[in-house]
Chain A
């Protein structure tokens, strides 16, 4: 049975093959702690959806161990389904009104009627569905449907929530509001496994992310850790207050060639830029040289890698 010491999600060497020849998930292992938001990232066909299907008991694993709150998904699938919530990537609605969707869902989950009523009001307000509460689902826009789908899941209590691209179709303001709501729920103890194609979202709310490629976990850590570990080259650009002479330009070229970790650079008349992974050292050296040549700095820019850069870097390897 479940105990507080068990991780919320534990996946150990999960293998899932649909046809017995090719593994959709190939030796995947990760754990998610209670109250953590864990982002599972990967390109299309990487194995994210299959992993979620196994975790939510829709398909059995070929081998490996998978548990939710210490409960084995193969041995106790019925118990698992009572403690999880799932927001699918695809639409999933009853074609009734918005309000009825909440009521029916609450009834299905055996939520007391008064609680359903109170939560429906709260969620309709929070997810900005007041104007369409009496409309039938097929009358809603794509963003409104998605908001309803996410909001409806919070009508019932759960220990672990699986969110498969929950903000698709939402405008930026609503998206931020939904992410903040999800974040608050995690602070109250809800564990969330989150997949998204918008990596800024994962950067914004996930404590840790795992990048999955061809069914394997190829990188894992906090967003900052991954940026430091895998981030693509940073770009440093320094603008000078006056034009450089030919001799000065030659001196800077020699300097850039002498610094390890610079992949590319250019020395122009009033701008020097360089790309590589050791840009802090390059910046210090350039500053020192400019000081020695009595050249003032007009502007310095250093582009740091985003999670997008990390993702591209990792999956291209």
Chain B
């Protein structure tokens, strides 16, 4: 039986990225956040009181960490174009039995696999720390939708960076900056309250990871509402816009740097 080209590329992407370093970045770091940050902060934050309910900090943090998987997986997937261009494999694959579109699809699919797989592991870890979450068929549907849309959006963001940036130093600087800015200036770790400074609130409000984290939190903790639908729509819209931009740039990207 013939395996479609994009699936072969996806298998390759999975194999190439299941090294200890990538796994640590994708699973070790978020797990550390969840366990260490969650348990340590729980000592000084007895409860998070928003949406007319009171939950523990670990219960609040867990969906944020799950949402972060979309960002991390997008970083790994989109960054593959950078490393493949840097190390010659992009050109090598394009003179092989593959189309450019199949290469792109391989990146998107591996990002989604990593995102959903990582999220499942984080949810399991969160349940073991803070007890069960209120899942329903609708909330699981939202959870999967937002993780897929968020992952595609972040993959496209990193694809665009991979296409435009020409040096390793610049690439590393941008990704580290984005990692810290998007992760820590979002609602993944902290709730926005009336006491949140305006500047931080503004950054958090324009941060796509906040929308992903909010939808995941609604799906896992607070329940689906109209607000969840709006936030999902915003992420979907961003996904389509960034997919269009990355596709436009990707069509003409040169094989080397």
Interface residues of A (CB under 8 A from B): 56-58, 78, 81-82, 84, 86, 88, 90-96, 100, 104, 107-110
Which A residues are CB-close (under 8 A) to B96? Answer: 81, 86, 108-109
A88 touches B91 (CB 8 A): yes
How far, in angstroms, from A93 to B86 measured CA to CA in the complex?
10
**Complex Cα distance A90/B88, Å?**
7
9 contacts between A and B (CB under 8 A): A56-B95, A58-B255, A81-B98, A86-B92, A90-B256, A95-B16, A104-B15, A107-B8, A108-B93
Q: Are B19 and A96 in contact (CB under 8 A)?
A: yes
Question: In the complex, what distance in Å separates the CA atom of A211 from the CA atom of B227?
Answer: 69
- The residues of A that contact B87 with a CB separation of less than 8 Å are 91-93, 95
Interchain CB contact under 8 A, B95 and A81 = yes
Q: Which of chain A's residues have a CB closer than 8 A to the CB of B88?
A: 88, 90-93
Question: With A86-B95, A95-B87, A104-B16 given, can you name 4 additional A-B contacts, CB distance below 8 Å?
Answer: A78-B97, A88-B92, A96-B15, A107-B11
Whether B94 is near chain A, meaning CB under 8 Å from some CB there, is yes
For the complex formed, measure the closest distance between the CB of A295 and the CB atoms of chain B, giving whole angstroms: 63
Q: How far is the CA of A94 from the CA of B15 in the complex (A)?
A: 10
List of B residues within 8 angstroms of A84 by Cβ: 95
B89 touches A92 (CB 8 A): yes
Instruction: Give chain A nearest CB distance to B31 CB in angstroms.
Output: 24
Check B97–A94 contact: CB distance below 8 A: no
| Separation of A35 and B9 alpha carbons in the complex (Å) | 31
B3 adjacent to chain A (CB < 8 Å): yes
Looking across the interface, which residue of chain B has its beta carbon closest to that of A86?
B95
Give CA–CA (A205, B255) in the complex, Å.
30
B92→A92 contact, CB < 8 A: yes
Distance, CA A108 to CA B12, complexed state (A): 7
Which chain B residue lies CB-closest to A90? B88
Question: Once the chains are docked, how many angstroms separate the CA of A95 from the CA of B16?
Answer: 7
Residue B251 lies at the interface, judged by CB distance under 8 Å to chain A: no
Q: Does B51 contact A (CB under 8 A)?
A: no
List residues of chain B with CB within 8 A of the CB of A109: 96-97
Q: Which residues of B contact A82 (CB under 8 A)?
A: 97
Q: Which residue of A lies closest to B98 (CB)?
A: A81
Our pick among B8, B12, B83, B99 for the contact of A78 (Cβ within 8 Å) is B99
Q: Inside 8 A of B19's CB, which chain A residues have their CB?
A: 95-96
CB interface residues, B 89-126, toward A, < 8 Å: 89, 91-99
Nearest CB of chain B from residue A131's CB, rounded to whole Å: 22
Q: Shortest beta-carbon distance, A105 to chain B, in Å?
A: 9
Chain A proximity mask over B234-253: 1 for CB below 8 Å, otherwise 0: 00000000000000000000
Question: What is the distance, in angstroms, from B85's C-beta to the closest C-beta of chain A?
Answer: 11
Find the B residue at minimum CB distance from A89: B88
Q: Which residues of A contact B97 (CB under 8 A)?
A: 78, 81-82, 108-110
Instruction: Tell me the complex Cα distance, A115–B93, Å.
Output: 21
Across-interface contacts of B3 in A (CB, < 8 A): 110
Complex Cα spacing A108 to B15, Å: 12
Cα A94 to Cα B2 with chains together (Å) = 23
Which residues in A have their C-beta under 8 angstroms from that of B83? 95
Complex-state Cα separation, A106 to B92, whole angstroms: 14
- CB B1 to nearest CB in A, in angstroms, measures 10
Report Cα–Cα, A82/B88, bound state, in Å: 19
Q: Which of B2, B96, B99 has the most CB of A within 10 A?
A: B96
**Residues of chain B contacted by A94 (CB below 8 angstroms):** 12, 15-16, 89
Q: Report the bound CA distance from A180 to B47 in whole Å.
A: 73
| Closest chain A CB from B150 CB (angstroms) | 27
Report how far A56 CA is from B93 CA in the complex, Å: 11
Q: Which residue of A lies closest to B3 (CB)?
A: A110
- Inter-chain CA distance A78–B94, complex, in Å, is 10
Chain B residues within an 8 Å CB radius of A108: 8-9, 12, 93, 96-98
